[in-house]
Amino acid sequence: MFGPVLHNFSWQRPADRDGPRRLVVVDLGVDSTDVVTVSRVNGRLEWLAGASLAKAGDDLHATAEQLTAELKEHCADTPYVSILTGGRGGIVRLLTFPGQPARSETLTQHVQQTLGVGADYAVLQQVVRRMNEGEDAEYSVLAAALPYEEIDILEDIVVNAGLTPVTLVAEGIAAANLAEAEPEKLPEEGAVGFLRIRGSTSLLLLYDGNDLALARQFRVGADAIIESLMSAFDLDYETARKLFNSGSFDFSGNISGDVSSWLHQISISLDFIERRYGHRAEPLYLLGPGQGTNVLCDVFSEAAGRKIEPWDVLGSLGGLEAPPGLAQSSETYALALCEAVRIMNRGLENEA
């Protein structure tokens, strides 16, 4: 169900040989901290709970103490924790190099140079596609880089909360795993896209057939549209957010330069895939911030001139059922749930 994953920048899995039987996964975004608890019982996985903790923000130093305290309280009955992190110094990109894949050490150097990072970053890479032969040969590498400083802070938070770390995964890698957990959405012929939008960040993944063809991160998200509405209609944030969620506004005439640039960059990426591979990336599956998802689908459909659909993921994650009251907001927890299922499927396979 799940393909290879880039994870564990510095952590290992010290749980029992079949993996943890109960696991908390923390999706640590800049503007939200979304937490799920999943257990493995009698040969099946159960999603027990979902919750939102204090937002981590851009400065983990400033919020580390509060996050530690909230995790300690929230995870009192669950010792094992995995972290998804994104939106700060982390980088996830798909890189293309000429020739045949280099040896691991040489490839790491190529990736570091291309990403523009030094020895203060942990770097992982994985060859995901080989193209052409002979003199025209080239290959694509999915690369993730995370500052050692951020890794150290996250490890301190987990350990000080009295928890056992299982995995540390870049948000972009978790999104790719989620996309590839839904093989019916990846066409044998043609191209398709996946777009995850949070408050202040977003991530675009484009596939040609079953192969990842492009990965881009943006430091702009749904909040930029809300801020445009605040400026255009002289509204406070809460009123503008309600207007955004309702969809009852003329989007085209009320966008900021940041939003316009964001939409333009996504359109450029879509056009690039069509020129390079001869396939139009459509539909684009959108994983949005709860109530605003349908509005964002309309916004991007108009801007990109193609079909945009909500990215409904529950049916692809091992038959998990949403706890009461969470079914309508499952997209908020999608990446965390995917990581939990990826880890705990090992235990299910061994139990079978």
Q: Same domain, yes or no, for 36 and 170?
A: yes
Domain end marker among 278, 293, 311: 311
Q: Same domain, yes or no, for 158 and 195?
A: no
pLDDT at 2: 31
Average pLDDT, the chain: 83
CATH (domain of 322): 3.30.420.380
Residue showing tokens 């079914």? 327
Q: Same domain, yes or no, for 66 and 128?
A: yes
pLDDT at 4: 37
Q: Same domain, yes or no, for 28 and 46?
A: yes
Q: Same domain, yes or no, for 83 and 177?
A: yes
pLDDT at 106: 85
The residue range of the domain holding 246 is: 185-311
pLDDT at 104: 75
pLDDT band at 5 (very low <50, low <70, confident <90, very high): very low
Q: Same domain, yes or no, for 117 and 8?
A: yes
pLDDT at 318: 62
- Evaluate if residue 3 carries a pLDDT over 50: no
Helices (DSSP H) in the chain: which residue ranges? 60-74, 104-115, 148-160, 171-180, 222-233, 237-246, 257-277, 293-304, 334-351
pLDDT at 315: 67
pLDDT at 1: 28
Q: Which residue has the higher pLDDT, 43 or 34?
A: 34
Domain end marker among 278, 294, 311: 311
pLDDT at 69: 93
Q: Same domain, yes or no, for 345 and 260?
A: no
Q: Same domain, yes or no, for 149 and 204?
A: no
Q: Same domain, yes or no, for 189 and 279?
A: yes
Percent residues over pLDDT 90 in the chain: 20
Q: Same domain, yes or no, for 321 and 237?
A: no
Q: Same domain, yes or no, for 196 and 128?
A: no
Residues in the chain: 352
Count the Cβ atoms, other than its own, within 10 Å of residue 46.
14
- How far, in whole angstroms, is CA 81 from its chain's centroid? 17
pLDDT at 199: 85
pLDDT at 296: 86
Question: Could you write out the three-class secondary structure of 102-134?
Answer: CCHHHHHHHHHHHHCCCCCEEEEEEEEEEECCH
pLDDT tens digit sequence for 62-118: 898 999 999 999 888 888 899 998 877 888 899 988 888 877 778 888 899 999 999
- Evaluate if residue 25 carries a pLDDT over 90: yes
pLDDT tens digit sequence for 130-140: 887 878 888 88
CATH (domain of 303): 3.30.420.40
Instruction: Extract long-range pairs of 319-327: CB within 8 Å, 24+ residues apart.
Output: 319/44, 319/45, 320/38, 320/45, 320/46, 320/47, 321/46, 321/47, 322/47, 323/47, 323/48, 323/49, 323/50, 326/47, 326/50
pLDDT at 346: 66
pLDDT tens digit sequence for 302-349: 888 888 888 877 766 766 777 877 767 777 888 898 888 888 876 555
- Evaluate if residue 6 carries a pLDDT over 70: no
Q: Can you give the pTM of this predicted structure? A: 0.86
pLDDT at 37: 93
Q: Same domain, yes or no, for 347 and 229?
A: no
The pLDDT of 213-220, averaged and rounded, is 90
Q: At what angle do helices 222-233 and 257-277 cross, to 10 degrees?
A: 140
Total domain count, the chain: 2
pLDDT band at 16 (very low <50, low <70, confident <90, very high): low
Cα 124 to Cα 9, 151, 201, 256: the distances in Å are 7, 14, 22, 36
- Evaluate if residue 147 carries a pLDDT over 50: yes
